[in-house]
Amino acid sequence: MTGTFSSVSSALSALRYNQVVMDVASGNIANVATDGYARRRVIGESVGAPDKPAMWSRYDGHGDGVRVGSLDRMVDPLLDLRARREHGNQSFLDTRAASLARIETGLGEPAGEGISAAIAEFGASLHDLSNHPDTSSVRTQVLANAQGLADAVAVQRRNIEAEEGDQRMALLADIDETNALAKDLAATNEAINAARLSGTDASALLDARDSMALRLADLTGGTAKENGKGGLDVTVGGVDLVTGNKAGRIDVASGVAPDGTADGGPLVLTATAPGGSPTAVTGLRGEIGGEVTLLTVTLPGLRADLQGFAQQLADSVNAAHQAGFDAAGAAGVPLFGVDPAAPGGPLVLLVSDPQALAASGIGGGPNRDGGNAKALATSLSGPERAYQQLVTGFGVAVASTRQQAATQQNLTTQVDGAREQLSGVNLDEEMVTMMQAQRSYEAAARVMTTLDSVLDTLINRTGLVR
Amino acid sequence: MNVNRVTQSMLGDRSMANLQSGLKRLADLQEHLSTGRVLNRPSDNPADAGSAMRLRSSLRAEQQHARNADDGLGWLNTIDSSLQTAGDSVRRARELALQGANAAGGPQAREALATEVDQIRAGLLSTANTTYLGRPVFGGTTMGNVAFTDNAGVVTFTGDSNPVNRTVADGVVVNVAQEGTAAFGTDADNVFAHLSALSAALRAGDTAGISTGIDALAADEKQVVVARADIGARTVRVEQATTRAGDSELSLTNALAEIENADLPRTVVDLKMQEVAYQASLAATARVLQPSLVDFLR
């Protein structure tokens, strides 16, 4: 279009365009520290000839200014996918590492007041009993230290049980959060679709959508993919959790009661697709995956190991104790029992009378022999070695989990860094954009002034002779 | 990492991560210094933690052996001094018998000798019933308070022959008791019966009886001396075991310290270096986070 005012309208388009550029830059600057914000970029395009030639008219202009072509949100879906996967693995490993580290601190090994210290004290008092089998204070001391050993084992069992309780509570909380997030994401998907249809800028909604999908990946390791309407569909353990504007849910089918206690059954999680029926899911990652692995494999395994140690200790000590004779010359009775259900279990001290300790290795009546007390002390060495192996094995497991988490952290940091490179706001860049826009705006305004004076010449001065 | 674009929050995040890892290293060194140990939990070094636990258990075993040996030495020393007294007593009785055999003395002199022999017998009985921490040291594992009981002038052994064992090293068990019959003779043929017979022979002026008594006492004295030599040999064994236990306690403690304890000078130097590094990264962070183009555009 060529005409008197065409340049004015070109200048006007430049004024409008640069205003948008400055708006977007100021929006970027305002959100420089906002979590989940992806920077926007205005893509301008020049306005020129129409792309369809018309039959009876001909475009004879030289460009009609500029317009906002699109407002790009600087994200890479592939990177987002990668980030969600790495975050899922990261929180899986972090959950495990944190839990194992807590139990490890509770062990009090190698130098603390743990089970090995209790075994040592029990052993020392047995040697004392061997040296002074007729001293009743020594006998009382042996029983006190035997109870101390049972208590030390019970403390570890309670440690593991407390950790299991914590993990069950965390699992319930995480599942609640997952279900709430799934609903929110479904609602956001719908809003994005509506915004697209009405032509509104959906960038803020897309930011929210990506943040929710990332958090869902953190919680469940669920995978997300775009559904063609701008929304994200999330799949957890092979079951659709979010499809378009509909959300499914995850539930605990058995294993954990609603109040967070164990209900005795095996831990089973189910996922329900929108409009579907509950399906048992396994192999989750993320925090929930970590909690499920801890609750089904790691912690019960530790508890079984501890109980196995208690059983070995009881068997070994009882065999030695039953080979001896107590203060009255009667054969020894079992000293320890194993009862995982007892309040002070799994190791339970069965003997309460100090005189019933079978210190003597010689039967046939009361005597002052201490030979069997020595045998009792020796019988501790097998279980002690087993316990040392248990601790070493656990230490290896903790160290390797921590190592895996640290390695994964490097990967996660790297992927997050790559996303930040693309999506992060750089203040210098925004300032430069602002300055450019400002200068362009000033230039366009000057174009107006120039055109104004040109028109002034045309309208007011044409034909005038001074 | 291939960096195409650097953003302010990237700088911030990285600075935070670096500060965090610096602070973590500081905290680790701080833990090493404040506990004095580099091995605070099994996962710090699982293999070393296993060795540390084994060393600690061997260390406790050695300490226990030393305690057992001390207790055993108490027994052995008590027995040794008892046997010395017993030997002296028997020798004195034999001298008296020799005097009595010398016909120079009259009935009164022999009566005096016989009285002294009776007293020696009483003293010897009390020596043979010496106790250590309430247990008769010649009585084995008997529940009674005496090893020899005097029943109307007839002394019988009421202890038993069970050993009183002390474990003084791994697999080394020493009997720290002396069986009463081995030192003082079996019932009816023991030193007390010999002394009673001697005293009677002295009173009666029975020269043949006295000379039998002299021979019997010579054999008794020899028996006591043999028992004492045996006790001496066992004392040496226990003492050697004590020395060995002390030596291995020392070397085990060293080995444990090597695995478990922090190298103090190195840790302090490391801590200082980490402090410097941390301060440097703080300063760098402060500088890096401040400027942007905003500060220079007017």
pLDDT digits (tens, 9 = 90+) for A121-168: 999 999 989 888 888 899 999 999 999 999 999 999 999 999 999 999
With cut-offs at 50, 70 and 90, classify the pLDDT of residue A396.
Answer: very high
Answer whether residue B262 shows pLDDT above 80: yes
Look at A362 and B141 and tell me if their CB atoms are within 8 Å. Answer: yes
Average pLDDT over all residues of chain A: 89
Q: Which residues of B touch A396 (CB under 8 A)?
A: 43, 46
Which helix (H) or strand (E) segment holds residue A188: the answer is helix A136-198
Percentages of chain B per state (helix, strand, coil), in multiples of 5: 70, 10, 20
Q: Choose the mutation target among B35, B40, B43, B56 for the interface with A, i.e. most A CBs under 10 Å.
A: B43
In a domain, A16, yes or no: yes
Statement to judge: residues A133 and A68 lie in one domain: no
SS3 category, A288: helix
- Are the Cβ atoms of B297 and A394 closer than 8 angstroms? no
The better pLDDT of the pair A87, B211 is held by: A87
| Residues sharing a CB contact under 8 Å with residue B232, sequence separation 6 or more, in sequence order | B80
Residue A1 has pLDDT above 60, yes or no: no
- Per residue in A357-367, pLDDT (tens digit) is 888 888 878 88
**Contact flag B160-A367 (C-beta cutoff 8 Å):** yes
Question: What's the angle, vertex CA A464, arms to CA A463 and CA A466, rounded to 5?
Answer: 145
B68 neighbors A378 (Cβ within 8 angstroms):
no
The mean-pLDDT minimum among A339-343, A372-376, B226-230 falls in A339-343
Q: Please tell me whether residues A203 and A255 are part of one structural domain.
A: yes
Report CB contact under 8 Å: A132, B292. Answer: no
Chain B residues touching residue A416 (CB < 8 angstroms): 13
B256 → chain A, closest CA residue: A111
Q: Do the domain assignments include residue A300?
A: no
The H or E element that residue A181 is part of is helix A136-198
Same domain? For A170 and A262 the reply is yes
Average pLDDT over residues A390-419: 91
The two structure tokens encoding residue B15: 């600075």
Mean pLDDT value of segment A45-67 = 79
Structure pTM?
Answer: 0.82
Q: Is B32 on the interface with A (CB under 8 A)?
A: no
Q: What is the pLDDT of residue A26?
A: 93
Query: Hey, are the CB atoms on A402 and B52 less than 8 Å from each other?
Result: no
What pLDDT, in 10s, does the model give residues B53-62?
A: 889 889 988 9
Q: For residue B24, give both structure tokens.
A: 């973590």
Q: Is the per-residue pLDDT at A173 higher than 90?
A: yes
Instruction: Tell me how many domains chain A contains.
Output: 3
Q: Are residues A329 and A398 in the same domain?
A: yes
SS3 A228: coil
Q: Which of A109, A362, A416 sits opposite B49 (nearest CB)?
A: A109
Cβ separation of B67 and A399 shorter than 8 Å?
no
Residue span of the structural domain in which A252 resides? 160-295
DSSP string, B228-289: HHHHHHHHHHHHHHHHHHHHHHHHHHHHHHHHHB--HHHHHHHHHHHHHHHHHHHHHHHHHH
A329 and A281 inside one domain: no
Nearest to B53 among A109, A135, A424 (CB): A109
**Stretch among A56-60, A204-208, A413-417 having the lowest mean pLDDT:** A56-60
Torsion angle defined by CA atoms of residues A146, A151, A157 and A160, in that order, rounded to the nearest 10 degrees: -140
Q: How near does any CA of chain B get to the CA of A170, in Å?
A: 25
| Count of CB atoms situated within 10 Å of the CB of B198 | 29
Q: Is the pLDDT of residue A395 over 50?
A: yes
Question: Is there a contact between A431 and B293 (Cβ–Cβ < 8 Å)?
Answer: yes
Would you say residue A90 lies in a domain?
no
Q: Minimal Cα–Cα distance from A21 to chain B, Å?
A: 17
A337, containing H or E segment: strand A336-338
Cα–Cα distance measured from residue B187 to residue B119, given in angstroms and rounded to the nearest whole number: 20
Going from the C-alpha of B263 to that of each of B24, B235, B250, B258, B278, the distances in angstroms are 19, 41, 19, 9, 22
Selecting from A110, A128, A435 the residue whose C-beta is nearest the C-beta of B56 gives: A110
Question: Could you tell me the CA-to-CA distances from A166 to A31, A69, A108, B71 in Å, in that order?
Answer: 37, 53, 20, 50
Q: Are residues A140 and A115 in the same domain?
A: yes
Domain ranges of chain B: 80-134+141-255
| pLDDT at site B1 | 44
Q: Evaluate if residue A171 carries a pLDDT over 50.
A: yes
Residue B33, H or E segment: helix B8-35
In terms of domains, do A328 and A346 share one? yes
Q: Which stretch of A169-173, A344-348, B70-74, B249-253 has the lowest confidence by average pLDDT?
A: A344-348
Q: Are residues B68 and A422, on separate chains, in Cβ contact within 8 Å?
A: no
Q: Cβ of B67 under 8 Å from any chain A Cβ?
A: yes
The residue from A249, A268, A295 where one domain ends is A295
Query: What tokens were used for A403?
Result: 């190592």
- CATH code of the region B80-134+141-255: 1.20.1330.10
DSSP state of A222: -
Number of Cβ pairs < 8 A linking chain A and chain B: 160
Regarding whether A397 and A286 lie in a shared domain, the answer is no
**Alpha carbons B223 and B231: distance in angstroms, whole number:** 12
Contact between A233 and A241 under an 8 Å Cβ cutoff? The reply is no
CA A432 to chain centre: 39
pLDDT level of residue B3 (50, 70, 90 thresholds): low
B43:A116 CB<8 A: no
Closest CB from B17, B57, B160 relative to A384: B57
Q: B-chain residues within 8 Å CB-CB of A421?
A: 3-7, 10
Q: Are residues A199 and A323 in the same domain?
A: no
Question: Is residue A67 in a domain?
Answer: yes
Task: Report pLDDT for A183.
Answer: 94
Q: How far is CA A185 from each of CA A253, B59, B273, B275, rounded to the nearest angstrom? A: 24, 62, 49, 46
Inter-chain residue contact A420 with B294, CB threshold 8 Å? no
Angle between helices A381-423 and A77-107 (to 10 degrees): 150
Q: For chain A, say whether B28 makes contact (Cβ under 8 Å).
A: no
Same domain, A262 and A188: yes
User: Would you say residue A56 lies in a domain?
Assistant: no
